[in-house]
Structure 1
Amino acid sequence: MAPGVVRVWFADLTALSGQKAAMRALLSGDEVERADRFLMERLTERFILRRGLLRLLLGRCTGRDPAGLVFDYGTHGKPSLPGGPAFNLSDSEDSLAIAVAAEGRIGVDIERLRPIESADGIADRFFHATERAALHGLGPERRDEGFLLAWTRKEAFIKAAGVGLSMPLDRFAVEVRPDAPPALLEIGEDLRGDVGVPADWSLFDRRVLPGTIAAIAAHGTGWTVETRVMDAGFVK
């Protein structure tokens, strides 16, 4: 993969349910044990498909056996692959997004577009003052979308930064307005030693799977985002 490119692969897990056995065969022993601990079969299937597709994709990116890949886990539990590439995964029910780059700090988050109960209350409790003001300025018909734009962008940034969910959501701000380009607007001075300033980061939105929105964060500028879909043809 060329430097400066984030490639994001999307999958509808419902459409790939027939690949469960093939994906399970790629999992490590620990992953199989994790899958079998779920009490609901649908959750087991989702886990198997997520991890199997991640292994399949990274195996193709590296030319290595997907079943033989061994992941490292950082202090905050973020997985990585020794020798690269950089990657990050997100899912929302049956929608999956996997971002891959040759190197760098990247993050992705995907959510279903849906009504958000108590969106204002959640924002008032957890979001930055700049985001709260922007959300309150949106009409009721755009507020759920604005909330989800904020949420996915914030999650993608936190994941790319690699500092874990301990980063307070109200210590940095992203663009919330649906008609404005995605951007990181503010970072608290207490966070800058770990993550830098807003100009050090790039944010992107993509709407590939119907009814979903995804945000991608990458450290640095000049990034290009490419999107692909993992379907039954990809698995074969």
Structure 2
Amino acid sequence: MRTTLGQDVASIAAGLGNDQIHVWRLRYERAWRREPLCALLGIYLGLPAGDIALVDGKHGRPELAEPWNGLLQFNWSHSGDTALVALARRVAPGVDIERLRPRARAMQLADRFFHPEETAALASLDATEREQAFLQLWTGKEAVLKAMGRGIAFGLDRLRLAVAPAAPQVIWLDGDDPAQWQLHPLQVDSSHVASLAWRGPAQAIACWTLADSG
């Protein structure tokens, strides 16, 4: 497997350090299910893709089975034909990607599910800014919840994030210290909005795009 720039994926995987997060963008089709994910995990673990065993955590987050979960943490997300995979050694990453498109019910969703101060901040933006800010907020919340091993059933209003144009930041998280959290937007392309989050110290983030195997 190689990147779109011709780099060897195995060589990149071998360089994943304890203070780094690797993020991969790849083409995705729903019929492929977890095959692309397992292929990438296999490269990082030095195993055939068919030997990768995944289990669902308590709240449904996919994880590597023992003993591999002690060597590598991952998370992935897909939207349409694009997927992101985040991999790390010492922290549990959460990643989320959404396609950027007009959402007529964005403010209704915000009123129902977001923290009131987030909704107020969104309402103060013009329509063009609001579309991007809404998705940055949504993907940020999803990324944090996935890093926690939870899903949106936890409650999107139980965490408050800074709203663009402010820099991404976890301001409040029910039952946890927000200062322990890292939140970063990912620049995927002009058609998507994505976020990466984890609990723990700062990590160096490196991103690549996987070349199509065909």
Q: TM-score, normalised on structure 2?
A: 0.86
Task: Count the aligned residue pairs.
Answer: 195
Question: Residues of 2 paired with 1:107 and 1:154: CA distance?
Answer: 10
Report Cα offsets for 1:8-66 as digits up to 9, x if no partner: 100133xxxxxxxxxxxxxxxxxxxxxxxxxxxxxxx4241x51111111011010111
Could you tell me the percent identity over the aligned residues? Answer: 36
- Return the letter of the residue paired with 1:170: D
How far did residue 78 of structure 1 move?
1.1
1:151 and 2:151 matched: no
Q: Is the 8 A contact 2:142 2:151 kept in 1?
A: no
Cα RMSD for the two superposed structures: 1.5
- In structure 1, which of residues 169, 178, 193 is the aligned counterpart of residue 156 of structure 2? 169
Aligned to 2:57: 74
- Return the letter of the residue paired with 1:231: A
Q: Which stretches in structure 1 are left out of the alignment for 5+ residues?
A: 14-44
Question: Residues of 1 paired with 2:39 and 2:197: CA distance?
Answer: 23
Question: Residues of 1 paired with 2:150 and 2:160: CA distance?
Answer: 16
1:11 and 2:26 matched: yes
Structure whose alpha-carbon radius of gyration is higher: 1
- Return the letter of the residue paired with 1:211: S
Q: For 2:34, what is the secondary structure of its paired residue?
A: helix
What are the residue-to-residue correspondences of 1:172-211 with 2, within 5 Å? 172-177=159-164, 179-188=165-174, 192=175, 196-211=176-191
Report Cα offsets for 1:123-177 as digits up to 9, x if no partner: 0111001211110111122111111011000000010011333211111111221
Question: Residues of 2 paired with 1:5 and 1:100: CA distance?
Answer: 9
1:61 and 2:48 matched: no
Q: Is the 8 A contact 2:23 2:87 kept in 1?
A: yes
- In structure 1, which of residues 13, 36, 51 is the aligned counterpart of residue 34 of structure 2? 51
How far did residue 181 of structure 1 move?
1.5
- Return the letter of the residue paired with 2:152: L
Question: Residues of 1 paired with 2:132 and 2:188: CA distance?
Answer: 16
Q: Which stretches in structure 2 are left out of the alignment for 5+ residues?
A: 1-15
Q: For 2:128, what is the secondary structure of its paired residue?
A: helix
Question: Residues of 1 paired with 2:27 and 2:47: CA distance?
Answer: 25
Question: Residues of 2 paired with 1:117 and 1:206: CA distance?
Answer: 24
Aligned to 2:194: 214
Question: Residues of 1 paired with 2:35 and 2:61: CA distance?
Answer: 17
Which structure is higher in helix share?
1
Q: Is the 8 A contact 1:10 1:209 kept in 2?
A: no
Question: Residues of 2 paired with 1:218 and 1:88: CA distance?
Answer: 11
Question: Residues of 1 paired with 2:162 and 2:93: CA distance?
Answer: 18
Question: Residues of 2 paired with 1:64 and 1:53: CA distance?
Answer: 14
Q: For 1:64, what is the secondary structure of its paired residue?
A: coil
Q: Is the 8 A contact 2:60 2:150 kept in 1?
A: no
What are the residue-to-residue correspondences of 1:19-34 with 2, within 5 Å? none
What are the residue-to-residue correspondences of 1:115-134 with 2, within 5 Å? 115-134=102-121
Question: Residues of 1 paired with 2:210 and 2:60: CA distance?
Answer: 25
Q: TM-score, normalised on structure 1?
A: 0.78
